[in-house]
Structures are given as structure tokens and as C-alpha cells.
């Protein structure tokens, strides 16, 4: 296989792993909050998501540090993409956050 193609596929695999990981995190929080057994969601999901990511990195890297690095880069790029796609409708992030006021003074 052409080395350039292998590097592009490694980057795409990393993006897919990142989308799975961070999308799974979003899904876990949404399901876990309304679940009658939230502990199962919040303890089981990280183990599953990390397991998938680690096995994916191992398989994609295959002893090649350049492929592993591009896979990690794709993983990191997926985070802001998933964050943007899962943002609630109507939420505007372009405005700066309003600063908190001072605590009330006691008398």
C-alpha cells in the first residue's frame, strides 16, 4: 500500500475513534442522568470507550510511530467537531461568558 494512503487512513481512523469516544461520552451523559442506574453508565462507559480507543490505536499504529501520531491527531481533531455537533440548538458560543458578580457583603 502507498505510504501516503496509509497515513491518510491512519488519520481518518483516529478521527473515527475520536468521534466514537467523544460521541459516546455525550451519549453516556445524556442517558446516565435520566437512568435509574447511573452508576452503570458512568463506570461502564469509560471502560468501554477507552478499550475501543486503545485497541484502535494499537491496530492502526502497528509499530509505525508516524501512523500512531496521525491517528492521535485525528482523535484530537474529533473532539471540537463532536462538541460543535452536539451543542444544544440556540446556544451561541460567539459571545463572551458573563462574569460572575461578587458575593453579597454580610452586615
* 96 within some domain: no
* 42 within some domain: yes
Res 73: pLDDT:
96
* 60 within some domain: yes
- Full pLDDT tens readout for the chain, 107 residues: 688 899 999 999 999 999 999 999 999 999 999 989 999 999 999 999 999 999 999 999 988 999 999 999 999 999 999 999 988 877 666 656 666 666 667 66
Measured torsion, CA atoms of residues 56, 8, 76, 68, in degrees rounded to the nearest 10: 50
Domain range for 74 is: 3-85
Tell me the whole-structure pTM to 2 decimals.
0.78
Handedness of CA 86, 91, 94, 97 (dihedral sign): negative
Res 101: pLDDT:
66
* 46 within some domain: yes
Amino acid at each position: 500500500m502507498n505510504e501516503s494512503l496509509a497515513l491518510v487512513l491512519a488519520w481518518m481512523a483516529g478521527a473515527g475513534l475520536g468521534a466514537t469516544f467523544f460521541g459516546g461520552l455525550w451519549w453516556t451523559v445524556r442517558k446516565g442522568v435520566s437512568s435509574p442506574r447511573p452508576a452503570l453508565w458512568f463506570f461502564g462507559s469509560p471502560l468501554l470507550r477507552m478499550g475501543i480507543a486503545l485497541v484502535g490505536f494499537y491496530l492502526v499504529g502497528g509499530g509505525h510511530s508516524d501512523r500512531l501520531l496521525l491517528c492521535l491527531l485525528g482523535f484530537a481533531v474529533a473532539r471540537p467537531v463532536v462538541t460543535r455537533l452536539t451543542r444544544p440548538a440556540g446556544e451561541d458560543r460567539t459571545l463572551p461568558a458573563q462574569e460572575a458578580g461578587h458575593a453579597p457583603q454580610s452586615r
